[in-house]
Amino acid sequence: MTLVEITGLQQAANELESARAAAEAASRAKSQFLANMSHELRTPLNAILGFAELVRDGLTVDLEGQASRLVDLAWAPESVAALLAGGLLAAHREDPTALAEALSARARAGLKERFREALEAGLMREYAEHGQEIHAAGTHLLDLINDVLDFAKIEAGGMTLVEETFAVAPVVEAAARLLGPKAAEKRIALSVEADPALRLYADRRALRQIMLNLLSNAVKFTRPGGDIRVFARATPDGGCETGVSDTGVGIPPEDQALVFRPFVQVSSARAAREGTGLGLPLVQRMAHLHGAEVILESQLMRGTIVRIVWPAARRRG
């Protein structure tokens, strides 16, 4: 009887210890997630606010006042007096002050307008550059928010698939076009191999989000001069697969089991200080909603391939 009681107590203690360890792990993951979110949200928001202030303040520049001050400085009485004394201006009956006023008035007519044009041209270039930064930061922030909302919706069982039959190639090609500029910035060659006859019965938006997340990861972790390939093809078993391969830093074997856990970042992601740890978990959950499987193959410093294997029941062409 005593032995049974001790065994039961030991089992209960082990279960409590396991529960405590799980709770601590969940707490650490939550803390890491909040820290990542704080960094990820603050960075684009600071850019949005900072550049918005520059644009706002720039729009209030007094172009006419700036031009007038420039003219007044160039034709100040002391400047005219110096020119007269140096013989650089022909002798004039008027005193330097009167001459300065006459020259200033004459200069204002043409110089002010040219100054306005030059200043406006410069400001417009700056506004365009700031606008680009604002757009990029806002897009990044929106992507983060969408990932969090989509993941929360899936976890709560509230995501409803809007299924239809559509051609796969245009969807994956559109995703590649969206990430193309980022790849070009890093001198990464981005190619698409998509079977134009392949059709899928699925949620078009979900496939787009899957491909964008995979591509975003590939661009993020592929070194300059690397290669990324996007593919969509039929499989011999009657199904099909879509996915992305890259020549990036790869994922260590010990981390590969962790990449699909929400809010957890493996060593390569932490080094890059980007993302929230939701990209691949979101990909996996969206795939599972369709009955599809996610297969990851990665070699450290050699690259990664992520394939979404769709069941034959989903393929339409």
Distance CA 160, CA 157 (A): 8
Q: In residues, how long is the chain?
A: 317
pLDDT in tens, 156-173: 777 889 999 999 999 999
**Under a CB-based contact definition with an 8 Å cutoff, are residues 294 and 287 in contact?**
yes
Q: What is the dihedral of CA 29, 34, 40, 46, to 10 degrees?
A: -160
**Under a CB-based contact definition with an 8 Å cutoff, are residues 194 and 172 in contact?**
yes
**Under a CB-based contact definition with an 8 Å cutoff, are residues 194 and 168 in contact?**
yes
Phi, psi of 201 (to 5 degrees): -100, 105
Query: Hey, how many other C-beta atoms are within 10 angstroms of the C-beta on 124?
Result: 11
Distance CA 27, CA 233 (A): 41
CA dist 91 → 86, 104, 172 (Å)? 11, 17, 77
pTM above 0.85, yes or no: no
Domains along the chain with CATH numbers: 1-159 (no CATH), 163-314 (3.30.565.10)
Structure tokens at 271: 């080094």
Predicted pLDDT at 262: 81
58 pLDDT above the threshold of 60: no
Distance CA 297, CA 238 (A): 22
62 pLDDT above the threshold of 60: no
Structure tokens at 9: 């107590």
Structure tokens at 242: 């879509």
pLDDT in tens, 89-135: 555 555 656 656 666 666 555 555 665 665 556 655 666 666 677 77
pLDDT in tens, 184-228: 999 999 999 999 999 999 999 999 999 999 999 999 999 999 999
Residues sharing a CB contact under 8 Å with residue 5, sequence separation 6 or more, in sequence order: none
Look at the block and give the residue holding tokens 């007094």.
Answer: 62
User: DSSP string covering 45-65, please?
Assistant: HHHHHHHHHHHHHHTT--HHH
pLDDT classification of 15: cutoffs 50, 70, 90: confident
CA-based nearest residue to 168, from 206, 197, 190, 145: 197
Structure tokens at 91: 């002798």
Helix (H, G, I), strand (E, B) or coil at 290: coil
Predicted pLDDT at 88: 44
